Amino acid sequence: MDRRLRSLVAAMATATGVVVALGLPAQAGPSVGAAAEAPQAATAAPAVASAAILAAMQRDLNLTAEQARQRVVREYAAALTEAKLSKQLGAAFGGAWLNADASALIVGVTDLSQADLVRASGAQPQLVARSQRSLDALKARLDASAAGISRSISGWYVDVRANDIVVLAKPATAGVAHAFVARAGVDARMVRVVESTESPRPLYDVRGGDAFYMGGGRCSIGFSVNGGFVTAGHCGTAGTATSGYNQVAQGTFQASSFPGNDYAWVAVNANWTPVGVVNNYNGGVVGVAGSTEAAVGASICRSGSTTGWHCGSIQAKNQTVNYPQGTVNGLTRTNVCAEPGDSGGSWLSGSQAQGVTSGGSGNCTSGGTTYYQPVNEILSAYGRTLITDGSPPPPPPPTGCSGYEFTLTGSLSGTGASQYQPDGSYYYSSLSGTHRACLDGPSGVDFDLYLQKWNGFGWSTVASALSPYPDETLSYSGTAGYYRYRVYSYSGSGAYTLGFTNP
């Protein structure tokens, strides 16, 4: 360890009575408290959401500007963690969801021996009876039995929080729903029938981004892609000609799927240039940085020409909705309101594209439920590439960690291994300011870096760098307190160098 760092750690141990080898500061030490500054974005995180998204989140989620910004950062990190854990846990993965204020990602596990792996990723494990795979398989049986289904059933979905399947039925029609479940060959113990007044229908008159017209109808652009844009499938069929918001000839539907799915893509002519932004109907645009899928419980915002910007949260994924025209599978359920004139439009979580409006029930006076078709499925189905707003990509991974105040070395033994630095302990920063770190790992591995802060009761991750590379950098602006770095192997083994500078 660097001589100055040794002196700093020794002085801290002397002042607080802490034995450094324990790796945890005593709770009686200097208070860092619950009011410590919240996490800032690591360099691997996306750009903070646009002002329009943040303003709408403040209004609809009752957040301050800083709380909205912090939530976007946390939710993006949670999305990356969920994607990693779903692969690592395999058949033991029981779904994932954020708690009410998005401060914690909870991950269901069917095997408690996997709990430490979840904790090591900064998430909270919860023992569940059924895996995500088994629940999805049960829902697929319901999907396969949807032909001729009664209009009294409005849809069904996997509820990851409750670890079961929910079937929505109109009041006093639960018997019809139970009969549907039995006909599908699904164990009734795995299903909850919930009475609901929902009457979902496609929102044909919707405009989430700029309006476009087809014959006597009007819909909205979802997101720009190479060659054109994606939108809702119920807006048109292959060969349908479109004109833009200004009634200038625009393009032609190349493919469309509805019901079953609710997506389509339109190729535009030379008069139109797709750009990676969404009209916010408040005199500006919202930039689209990517399409990382947000977790259940994450905040989500929608733009529509009838009701403008509205935000809420994701309630469930992979819901089947029973429209009058037939069932649509794989939709995402939200508690965001929408009204006719809002269909086909853009959904974003932070700066990340999520989907295009399909349909819903209710309104923006009394509230409602709205569904969107996930955008990544649309891109995959049609081989399209999302157009982003041209923000510079994250810097390439570093090739060495020179120029930092402290330099330490270590070695990870294999996938899932981790070490805490400095030297299995922690350091104390007496000033507010920026903590910077650089991790240099061997070629061919995927090492990740976490910065953790003592909150008076335990260690909390305040910043992370989670690229698929061996090398990482992060930066965090924080208050005085105890800190440590966690070096984690997502895959591979070998020696690494950690450089860091603290206030």
Residues classed as catalytic: 234, 262, 343
Alpha-carbon span 414 to 87, nearest angstrom = 17
Q: What share of the chain is helix, strand, coil (3-state, %, to 5)?
A: 20, 40, 40
* H runs (alpha helix) in 92-213: 115-120, 132-144, 174-183
Spatial CA neighbour of 104 closest among 382, 296, 385: 296
d(CA 426, CA 409): 15
Helix (H) or strand (E) holding 6: helix 3-16
Using the structure block, give the residue that is written with the tokens 């044909």: 204
DSSP, res 494: E
Residue 200, preceding bond cis, omega within 30 degrees? no
Structure tokens at 209: 């981004």
CA dihedral 121, 98, 345, 196 (to 10 degrees): 150
Q: Which residues partner with 127 through β-bridges?
A: 109
Q: For residue 371, what are the contacts with CB-CB under 8 A and spacing of at least 6?
A: 200, 319, 321, 328, 331, 332, 333, 334, 357, 358, 359, 360
Cα(461)–Cα(451) distance, integer angstroms? 6
